[in-house]
Structure 1
């Protein structure tokens, strides 16, 4: 599949900002399941845009601009060619030993309810892979994915107790359960193209990846109840959302900030045959 992505992040300031720094994890890498055909990040004001990599191997762009700045818009446009590998991630850059991703974080903390749910969901499954599929099925049945508009991440225990959450916290719940069951788990931020068969698509998305000895890293999109397919574009990874957040920033001045985000991801051309 070829997926066209358009992502616009706009800021308006009631009082002009004197200086702005934006840290952007918005650029995907090639791996066996996806090829970046074109990708462009374009701020609408003059400044410095510097590319680097973080400890997880994510591509990071740092944007610096001096004021006075009353508004800032960052536009991302890209075209990605994807192949359905049933969630298996091959040929990617791996900088961190998989064992690192066993670590709990504030957003993936476990409580007794999460541990009991994980053990019950995986009971009777014969292999690590079947345990993860059973866990995804149970979690997809228990929790409802809600739109991110006006909501922020609350972390795994609170999201699990509420039985509904945005995609990033559903991923955190799955990761917390998987780590309790002994599997390395990491967070993935990315995009999902709009498909009739997917309840949650056409925009920014989040899911988890689990490391299994016989397969390597495999994605699990519990919000959609499946392993990532060719509708998914993988962008950044980390121990949780904090490591892979698409945008983090700071400013001097700029009181009264308002934010507007528009994202679309759709199929640009017909599906490609698997190779």
Structure 2
């Protein structure tokens, strides 16, 4: 499948920014199941300082905000060719060992809720793949998909206690439970082509677990499936904070507002995308 992405992130400030540095994890890489045909990142109110691969093998662009600017716009446009690998990504790569994906993080540390969920399933770990699919179903049943209840700092325990959340929360609970079972697990951020829908509010998140003999295998808990050709992997980490599309610091700027415009389409640039372009070809 050929997927086209148009992703705009706009930061508006009430005052000029004195200083700012941002890490962008927005550029996908050619890997198992996907080939980046073309990709470009355009910056307004900021400039690129460096590019590097982080410890998770994510492509990172370090950008500085132009002093005095009141608006920063990051626009990504690209095309990625994907294939259905039944969620299997393959063997481990990157600069950190597998055991790092067994350690707890602030967002995935298991508490009474996650421990009770795992205990209630009485899982047979002799078949890890079946075990993980059952766990995915249980997490989806435990947390209703409701937006606006949680945020990027909500932990797995908090989401489970609330019983409501979004894809990030589903993934964190799955990751937390997987680590209790001594299975390396990680968070993945990227894009999903939703049937009959081009415009989206944000990117998508899911989890991957390491299964001996297969390598990393994806589990989209929110949709109850393993990722197929509709998915584009962009970044991964021990939790969302290590795979977040934009992180960094800003000094000054007063009150800030964030808006995101995302189009995910199949094939070439769609008519709707053409209509959303501004005079310079950037999405509005």
Task: Give yes or no for TM over 0.5.
Answer: yes
Q: CA 1:133 to 1:37, structure 2 compared with 1: closer, same or farther past 3 Å?
A: same
The CA deviation at 1:193 is 0.8
Residue 158 of structure 1 is matched in structure 2 by: 158
Query: Where in structure 2 are the equivalents of 1:124-163 lying within 5 Å?
Result: 124=124, 126-147=126-147, 151-163=151-163
Query: Where in structure 2 are the equivalents of 1:26-175 lying within 5 Å?
Result: 26-45=26-45, 47-90=47-90, 93-124=93-124, 126-147=126-147, 151-175=151-175
Residue 258 of structure 1 is matched in structure 2 by: 257
CA–CA distance in structure 2, aligned partners of residues 46 and 143 of structure 1: 39
Q: Does 1:235 align with 2:234?
A: yes
Residue 273 of structure 1 is matched in structure 2 by: none
Q: CA 1:203 to 1:66, structure 2 compared with 1: closer, same or farther past 3 Å?
A: closer
User: Which string of whole-angstrom CA distances, capped at 9 and with x for unpartnered residues, describes residues 44-103 of structure 1?
Assistant: 235234211111111100111332101111101111110010110037743322121000
Q: Secondary structure of 2:67's match?
A: strand
CA–CA distance in structure 1, aligned partners of residues 152 and 172 of structure 2: 13
Q: CA 1:37 to 1:15, structure 2 compared with 1: closer, same or farther past 3 Å?
A: same
CA–CA distance in structure 2, aligned partners of residues 44 and 66 of structure 1: 9
CA–CA distance in structure 2, aligned partners of residues 89 and 150 of structure 1: 29
Are the counterparts in 2 of residues 9 and 259 from structure 1 also a CA contact under 8 Å?
Answer: yes
Residue 276 of structure 2 is matched in structure 1 by: none
CA–CA distance in structure 2, aligned partners of residues 261 and 149 of structure 1: 18
Residue 247 of structure 1 is matched in structure 2 by: 246
CA–CA distance in structure 2, aligned partners of residues 125 and 103 of structure 1: 19
CA–CA distance in structure 2, aligned partners of residues 176 and 54 of structure 1: 23
The CA deviation at 1:268 is 1.9
> Which structure 2 residue ranges, 5 or more long, are not aligned?
269-284
Residue 214 of structure 1 is matched in structure 2 by: 213
CA–CA distance in structure 1, aligned partners of residues 92 and 128 of structure 2: 22
Q: Secondary structure of 1:68's match?
A: coil
The CA deviation at 1:202 is 7.7
User: Which string of whole-angstrom CA distances, capped at 9 and with x for unpartnered residues, describes residues 185-204 of structure 1?
Assistant: 011111111125x9xx7850
Q: CA 1:147 to 1:5, structure 2 compared with 1: closer, same or farther past 3 Å?
A: farther
TM-score (normalizing by structure 2): 0.87
CA–CA distance in structure 1, aligned partners of residues 190 and 140 of structure 2: 19
Which stretch shifts more, 248-257 or 176-185? Answer: 248-257
Residue 192 of structure 1 is matched in structure 2 by: 192
Are the counterparts in 2 of residues 32 and 91 from structure 1 also a CA contact under 8 Å?
Answer: no
Are the counterparts in 2 of residues 108 and 156 from structure 1 also a CA contact under 8 Å?
Answer: yes
Residue 4 of structure 1 is matched in structure 2 by: 4
The CA deviation at 1:222 is 0.3
Which stretch shifts more, 149-158 or 19-28? Answer: 149-158
Question: What's the C-alpha RMSD, in Å, of the aligned pairs?
Answer: 2.1
> Which structure 1 residue ranges, 5 or more long, are not aligned?
270-275
Report how many aligned residue pairs link the two structures. 266
Q: Secondary structure of 1:208's match?
A: strand
TM-score (normalizing by structure 1): 0.90
CA–CA distance in structure 2, aligned partners of residues 230 and 136 of structure 1: 20
